[in-house]
Amino acid sequence: MQARAKIQVNKNQVGNDRINPYLFGHFVEDIRDHMDAMLAYPLSDMDFESMDGTYRGLSGSWRPYTNGKSTIYGLEPAAARHSGHSQLVRIYSDDEAYAGISQAIAVKQDRDGYSLTLYARTSVEIKIVAAEIVDRKSGEVLGSTRINLESHNWKHYESHLPVLRDCEHAEFRLYVPSDHERWRDHVSTGMLWLDHISLLPSDSAGNVRKEVMEMTRDLNAGMMRLAGNYISAYHWQQAVGPVNERPCVINEAWGGWTNKYFGTDEFIKFCRDLNVEPLICVNDGSGTPEEAAEWVEYCNGGLDTPMGKLRAANGHVEPYGVKYWEIGNEVWGAWQVGHCSAEQFAERYMRFAQSMKARDPEIRLLACGDDKMDWNKTLLDRAAEHIDYLTLHLYHGYNRFGMNDRTPKEERYKAMFSYPEWTRETVRQLREIFSSTSRYAHLKLAITEYNTMYYPNTMRKGLPNEHTLEAAAVNAANLNEFIRNSDLIEIGSFSDLVNGWLGGCIRVGDFYADQFRGKSSGRSENSLIVYGTPSYYVMKMYANRDLGYVVQSHTECGSFKVNSLVSTEPNLDDLPNLDVVACTNVSGDKLTIFMVNRGLEDTLTEVQLDGFAESGKAHLSEITADHYECINSAQNPNSVVCKGHELSFFKSQVTCQLRASSVYVLEITR
């Protein structure tokens, strides 16, 4: 028989607390391939920071491009105020050869031309270099230019490199051409040094991919967080000012190099272009209260302050006005730089808070909380007066149930869909703490990281589960719990925005980084494709609704039980198949009902509107597919997307067919 359910909306029972648009925020971190994928640069190792590996004397991803039998390559000291190395190419006249360097890249058609920037010096005989992009398979030249070299000293050069068409298997080459006038083969001749090479497509938004920018704008995120494990060893002054003069710094949390092309100024521009509020997490691991305070001053100080002057010198006269600042990222974890006890963190937090607020008393501060309540009790007891928001990171995976990838699929499925119950129990415990004394009455919650985490199956072997319809529906159900608690939860940050450790809700290419091995040298075979995972469409669906307040509702439906292999709290014996939350807009003329069918069967659902509207047309948006393991990929990027259609309703009742493991939004306007 067809499963049936009933949802009763109580239109007159409306909450008093406004749903904060920051609830649907996102999160950027320099982790794995997150920033490399987000940014528009097709070249890597642009500053020759890496030591030679595969090819002696060549940095990182660079390869020799020469037909000379005597060409020599070497890594030499960087230019003044630069970091990393300079790349030497030594060309012997007798070879009468071309000689330079190359790198495999993917490019898209760009009639206006990629912006080519390089920093170079030469021995006096070398007057030009050629730059070109070719199809590695056919040899077709897709674009080329020549640059006149004007100095024996280091100098900045720019040119444009038009590209005829998209090419996944392209190669960039920069070299002294063989038709160059020859020189005497002597100790001081035939040498070319390079200390920076970059390409940017003409349609990039700053230095961010156009496609990523457009997709992120559609998310209507509300807030964007800059944070993560790397931030606890991140010194902000290393990533401001001219990018070529920023140091190359090891990413101590995740391996590889910290991305110096997306520092404070670029992050703020990213947020302003998207019209979202920035949230910055400061380095309380290897950093100091004074360093954090200077970061606040750099963002918010006037021209009469030292850091405000520095910001202006870097081209940004007006203060950024960053209001939200987070102190501590997972400090309770042994993997975190600056890991400490709750007592130690409370003392540290207060020193940071006092220093930062001395520079700008108007900022709002977030303190690192934990889902273990002993940490929170100690922190709040000592520092509550200095805290505006307590933070939580809520990841949900098999490990808390004693399950793994050999557990039957249906049992794993049900366990993952209990995400809202775990969030609810954590919030319940915090409500209890907050209500224990008037000292805590002002506190709010910020869930600054959350996502499904299909651990231990996160090695990217086969199906990346975090990208499935199931993962999207699980995240949607958890968002429903955030909305139900919107009197207390004001900030949410989905982890991650682009690629990254759980795959990101926006995908660039189809290469899945290995969670445990840091940045990979591998590259996608579809790196020009930018698409959304099913969770992307959930986040877009939720954030673009006209929401004001929660409306009480009651659901009658079937239920399921989670057969955990270990004891759990909360109790998971009788969980409703439908997870539902209803909202009204501020003016009260639109009703929005979020419905997640957590069950494994379709459910015919009657929605009773309690006289909100008698008859008319309702709009139903849905994210669904034929099976909960359906996934978007570079080959099929639109398998799971949001679709909408109209439903007629009569006598204040709407009937909806809710497919299994799917997400719905029903909107009625009167």
Residue 418 token pair: 């209990």
The pLDDT tens digits of the residues spanning 488-502 come to: 999 999 999 998 877
Q: What is the pLDDT at residue 386? A: 98
Strands 549-556 and 578-584: what pairing? antiparallel
Q: Which carries the bigger pLDDT value, residue 525 or residue 140?
A: 140
- Superfamily of structural domain 18-41+205-544: Glycosidases (3.20.20.80)
Region class of 309: left (phi > 0), else alpha (psi between -120 and 50), else beta: alpha
pLDDT over 60 at 517, yes or no: no
Which architecture characterizes domain 63-201 according to CATH? Sandwich (2.60)
Q: What is the pLDDT at residue 551? A: 98
Which residues, in sequence order, are CB contacts of 141 under 8 Å at separation 6+? 132, 133, 134
Q: What is the pLDDT at residue 511? A: 67
Q: In terms of C-beta density within 10 A (0-12 exposed, 13-18 middle, 19 or more buried), how is residue 148 classed? A: exposed
Q: What is the pLDDT at residue 513? A: 55
Q: Average of pLDDT values for 308-328?
A: 98
Q: What is the pLDDT at residue 609? A: 97
Domain boundaries, the chain: 3-12+548-669, 18-41+205-544, 63-201
Q: What is the pLDDT at residue 509? A: 87
Select from 9, 187, 14 the least CA-distant residue to 585.
14
The pLDDT tens digits of the residues spanning 607-621 come to: 999 999 999 999 999
The pLDDT tens digits of the residues spanning 416-434 come to: 999 999 999 999 999 999 9
Contacts 24+ apart (CB under 8 A), 60-65: 61/103, 61/104, 61/521, 62/87, 62/101, 62/102, 62/103, 63/101, 63/102, 63/103, 63/104, 64/101, 64/102, 65/98, 65/99, 65/100, 65/101, 65/102, 65/173, 65/174, 65/175
Whole-number mean pLDDT of the chain?
94
pLDDT over 50 at 515, yes or no: no
Determine if the peptide bond prior to 408 is cis (ω within 30°).
Answer: no
User: At 278, phi and psi to the nearest 5?
Assistant: -80, 145
At 15 the three-state DSSP class reads coil
The pLDDT tens digits of the residues spanning 192-246 come to: 999 999 999 999 998 999 999 999 999 999 999 999 999 999 999 999 999 999 9
pLDDT-based confidence at residue 460 (cuts at 50, 70, 90):
very low
Q: Average of pLDDT values for 469-480?
A: 98
Q: What is the pLDDT at residue 474? A: 98
pLDDT over 80 at 541, yes or no: yes
Strands (E), 336-406: 364-368, 389-396
The pLDDT tens digits of the residues spanning 246-293 come to: 999 999 998 889 999 999 999 999 999 999 999 999 999 999 999 999
The pLDDT tens digits of the residues spanning 618-627 come to: 999 999 999 9
At 180 the three-state DSSP class reads coil
pLDDT over 90 at 465, yes or no: no
The pLDDT tens digits of the residues spanning 55-86 come to: 889 998 999 999 999 999 999 999 999 998 99
The pLDDT tens digits of the residues spanning 553-602 come to: 999 999 999 999 998 889 999 999 999 999 999 999 999 999 999 999 99
pLDDT-based confidence at residue 522 (cuts at 50, 70, 90):
very low
Select from 26, 66, 60 the least CA-distant residue to 45.
60
Residue 13 token pair: 């029972």
Select from 46, 39, 44, 43 the least CA-distant residue to 262.
39
The pLDDT tens digits of the residues spanning 22-52 come to: 999 999 999 988 999 999 999 999 999 988 8
pLDDT-based confidence at residue 462 (cuts at 50, 70, 90):
low
Which of 345-349, 505-509, 638-642 has the weakest average pLDDT?
A: 505-509
Q: Average of pLDDT values for 325-343?
A: 97
The CATH code belonging to domain 3-12+548-669 is 2.60.40.1180
In the chain, the percentage of residues whose pLDDT exceeds 90 is 88
pLDDT over 80 at 514, yes or no: no
Strand order of the β-sheet with 141-148 is 63-66, 99-107, 167-176, 128-135, 141-148
Q: Average of pLDDT values for 647-664?
A: 97
Q: Average of pLDDT values for 538-562?
A: 98
Q: What is the pLDDT at residue 521? A: 46
Beta bridge partners of 95: none
The pLDDT tens digits of the residues spanning 219-232 come to: 999 999 999 999 99
- CA distance linking residue 346 with residue 340, whole number of Å: 10
Residue 452 token pair: 């499904």
